[in-house]
Amino acid sequence: MDYKDILKELVSITAVSGFEQASAERIKGIMEGKCDEASIDSFFNVIGIRRGTGDNPKKIIITAHYDEIGFLVKSIDDKGFIKLTNMGGIDPKLLLAQEVVIHGKKDIVGIIGAKPPHLLKPEEAKKAVKLEDLSVDTGLGKEELRKIVSIGDTATLMVPLLELEGNKISSKSLDNRSGVAAMIGIMNEISGIKLKNDVFFVATTQEEVGLRGVQVSSYAIAPDAAVVIDACHGDMPECPKESIYPLGKGPAIGLGPNLHRILTGKLFKIAKDNDIPHQTDIEPDNTGTEAWALQVSRSGIPTVLVSIPLRYMHTGTETLSISDVENTVKLVKAFLTALDDGMEGIL
């Protein structure tokens, strides 16, 4: 399976948190044919179901959010310059001189202007950049622009997927389209296997603004166990080594009170027994992922976390190793097979 091609398609999808409805059908279309059923719920979570063959199948849910950080149009001034507000965590200093797409009545390209250094006063050069001080220039004047763009329209960074050396790629929204790509890979890998348990693949919404989509889907499905696939921080210069994970060394398996100890131990054993490269992600508190919300859905769901290392998170140059996506697929496929052999004494 060519994960670069899958990711090229996935990162091209626009799904700003809270505005995923425009792209839910595209995600569903990718799932169809790979699952027995595919549907979209009232929160625009996309759910693919692979029905098990057992007499009394358990329900296993695998989640990966497909929403992305982005912007909303906040105002348009008399000269046609657009002010934005953020949806999700974005560092404004990364936005200077960036290209964006405003998703109005039609997509329109703009640039976030930056005052040239020649015109900066000494005190301005020392100040932190604020989003409210930045403006988008589309080249259009106010009247013409307002025929296309309205207050409340979404905007996203305009970044092509780049293939880097060492089997790595860079793009926007790899957090967490990489997890969705892995989920699609798992669907393919189990297509020829008769599993006893039902597997629910859920591409979730509004993770970046409060883990909301997974709360809705997990409550409705009421699974017996859960696997969350997300991104964690990859190795970067000048970052503390204890909180980052090298690219190409395999997915990071979460370990902490938020995560089910027996199932997590099973994940580590599977990785070791099958020679699947992996790392240990120590999570002493809130994981910052859907696992935090999923574990306390209904009366509690035993949950594990598998994370794909990603450099430069929440920027337009998020970077990962394709091998980590591939090994995430191998790990979770083997995990599903192991659970199929019996969950007595585990749950």
Query: Could you list the active site residues?
Result: 207
**Can you tell me which residue has the tokens 């106010």?**
142
- Token pair of 7, please? 């990711």
Measured CA to CA, the distance from residue 211 to residue 202 in angstroms comes to 13
Strand partners, 254: 281
DSSP state string for 170-237: EES-HHHHHHHHHHHHHHHHTTTS--SSEEEEEEES--TTTSHHHHHHHHHH--SEEEEEEEEEBP-T
Contact 178, 251 (CB under 8 A): no
Q: Is 337 helix (H, G, I), strand (E, B) or coil?
A: helix
- Token pair of 236, please? 């970067």
Measured CA to CA, the distance from residue 124 to residue 317 in angstroms comes to 27
Cα angle at 199 between 274 and 255, to 5 degrees?
50
Measured CA to CA, the distance from residue 276 to residue 251 in angstroms comes to 9
- Token pair of 313, please? 């998170």
- Token pair of 79, please? 């000269």
Cα 94 from chain centroid (whole Å): 20
Measured CA to CA, the distance from residue 111 to residue 95 in angstroms comes to 9
